[in-house]
Structure 1
Amino acid sequence: MRVRFRGVRGSVPWAVPDGIGHGCNTPCIEVVDDRTGAILVLDAGSGIVGLSPLLTGEPRPVSVLLTHYHWDHLQGLPFFATLYQPGWETTIFSPVLTSHERGWLDTMFKSPFFPVPYEHLPNRPQLQMVRAGELNIGGFEVTALPLNHPGGALAYRVRGAAAVVLDAHFTPKELPQHRGWGHSDWRQCAEFAAANNVGGLWLFHHKPGRSDQELVKIRTDARRIFDATETASEGERLQL
């Protein structure tokens, strides 16, 4: 299984010179099954545009699995290459949440928000609703678990993976001022990884404007709790 981070920032793709090293696009993770070539895309933030070089040659099934509907996790979807390339079978797996509005996909493509209406897309995706539980998504065995996040969200466990990617948006000092925002701090993530003996921890969903220097310090501090900690960087590849 190959994993690549395509977007690692939270909230907004805010490009700042001292944060370029980790990347500035919003959440998207690419997972490829080495045996079958099947592609699983976790979330559709602005980082999803970076998958374009992968989506060439013989068309393959592509599964886009969404955690929730906040804008930073959807904003790249109208620009996803397979929606404009006939032959590619794209399925969007859409979580059933308390705040879920079934017409969300059509709304994204409506004027004045986007120039190409959904019904005019060259390759319209299939839409499939998912709930918490055991799922088979494009050949990947996935467990979906509910999260404590405004409006609801799902976390996903992909069978065969040996690492955990967690939202570390805040520092422990910042978190008390942001209770109820639905994000974690890096210390909570490191303690979770240590308690569950995971193979490796990648801190993710970095706060907009967080500099590379700050993220290096966060990684250093987190490693005092869980040694196998990394701060996810856009373009980084993992072989699991």
Structure 2
Amino acid sequence: MNTTARGDGFAVTFHGVRGSTPCHAPELVRYGGNTSCVSLDIEGADPILFDLGTGLRYFGNTLSPGARFVGTCLLSHLHWDHIQGLPFFAPLLQEGSDVTMYGPRQEGDATLASVFADTICPPLFPVELAMLPGDIDFVDCWESSFQVTTTSTHVDVMSRPIPHVGNTLGYRVTAHGRSVAYLSDHQMPVDGTPAMSPGARELCAGADLIIHDAQYTPSEFALKSNWGHCTIEYAVWIAAESGAKRLALFHHDPSHDDDTLDRLAEEAAKCGREFGVEVFAAREGHTIEV
């Protein structure tokens, strides 16, 4: 299933697929232990990133040493596992690198820029974010629609609030007539009722690929029903209800080892086939074409 973009398509690469905390052990090698980061390589457009977890460092390592980065990040929310890769993104050490970061508006007087400035600074981090040579342009958004425009390709982006703990966005990216929806952290109804928020429904409708929170088994969810996540079964239901073509199970629980994820993915894929949805578990380093 490893492919690269051809013609007018685009490729999706998973650089970090874990939720909550990075983890490392021999039994986690096949799926990986880095937290949320996904890149989109769209023909004719600058790179687009979903989230800035520890997988971002490894995305940076795929670029040429000393290379500048000019692109866009679509940030779902500000929990540590989604932002802690930013100061370790090597291209930000290069003058001329420029990241435009879209993310959820905050409560009160806080902005994306102020939260990052207050987080990446002493004593929490050795240097201030503003000291990095590369530039970051922060854009607060909510129920937004905008274009990421380059010389030859227009990429349409939709952001919508989705249920989680704190202000959280899901995204839908459309280019060349194909679409990817990204809902990395998504709280399902605590009583288990199959229901979808208006924002989630709009993001996922007819998507070619949905990348979706799939952190818990039903027994785990029963103990953590208000922690902001969902079951694998709910993710499959979302994809089937939305008429999506493919579903990538994402934000794997750090306690789920490779064998567990193999088993859960096999069960989910069987269920997905009954609804006409291709289901697979995202793996670090895995690239698929949309």
TM-score, normalized by the shorter chain, greater than 0.5: yes
Q: CA deviation at 1:196?
A: 2.1
Does the aligned pair in 2 maintain the 1:82–1:90 contact within 8 Å?
no
Name the stretch that deviates more: 12-21 or 113-122. 113-122
Q: CA deviation at 1:193?
A: 1.4
Does the aligned pair in 1 maintain the 2:103–2:169 contact within 8 Å?
no
Percent identity, please.
Answer: 31
Between 1 and 2, higher relative CO (CA 8 Å, sep ≥ 6) is seen in 1
Which one of 266, 273, 279 corresponds to residue 229 of structure 1? Answer: 279
Which one of 14, 32, 40 corresponds to residue 31 of structure 1? Answer: 40
Name the stretch that deviates more: 229-238 or 101-110. 101-110
Unaligned runs of 5+ in 2: 1-9, 180-207
Unaligned runs of 5+ in 1: none
Matches within 5 A, 1:154-165: 154-159=169-174, 160-161=178-179, 162-165=208-211
Report how many residues are paired.
Answer: 239
Does the aligned pair in 2 maintain the 1:194–1:225 contact within 8 Å?
no
Q: Sort the Cα spacing of 1:79 and 1:7 in 2 relative to 1 into closer, same or farther, 3 A.
A: same
**Partner residue of 1:63?**
72
TM-score (ref. length: structure 1): 0.93
Q: CA deviation at 1:151?
A: 0.8
Which one of 118, 121, 133 corresponds to residue 129 of structure 2? Answer: 118
- The reply on whether 1:145 has 2:160 as its aligned counterpart is yes
Q: Which whole-Å CA distance do the structure 2 matches of 1:188 and 1:131 have between them?
A: 24
TM-score (ref. length: structure 2): 0.78
Which one of 158, 170, 174 corresponds to residue 220 of structure 2? Answer: 174
Q: Which whole-Å CA distance do the structure 1 matches of 2:134 and 2:25 have between them?
A: 35
Which one of 46, 51, 54 corresponds to residue 54 of structure 2? Answer: 46
Q: Sort the Cα spacing of 1:211 and 1:60 in 2 relative to 1 into closer, same or farther, 3 A.
A: closer
Q: Which whole-Å CA distance do the structure 1 matches of 2:86 and 2:118 have between them?
A: 12
What letter matches 2:36 in structure 1? P
**Partner residue of 2:185?**
none
Q: Which whole-Å CA distance do the structure 2 matches of 1:58 and 1:121 have between them?
A: 15
Q: CA deviation at 1:104?
A: 1.0
Q: Which whole-Å CA distance do the structure 1 matches of 2:20 and 2:108 have between them?
A: 18
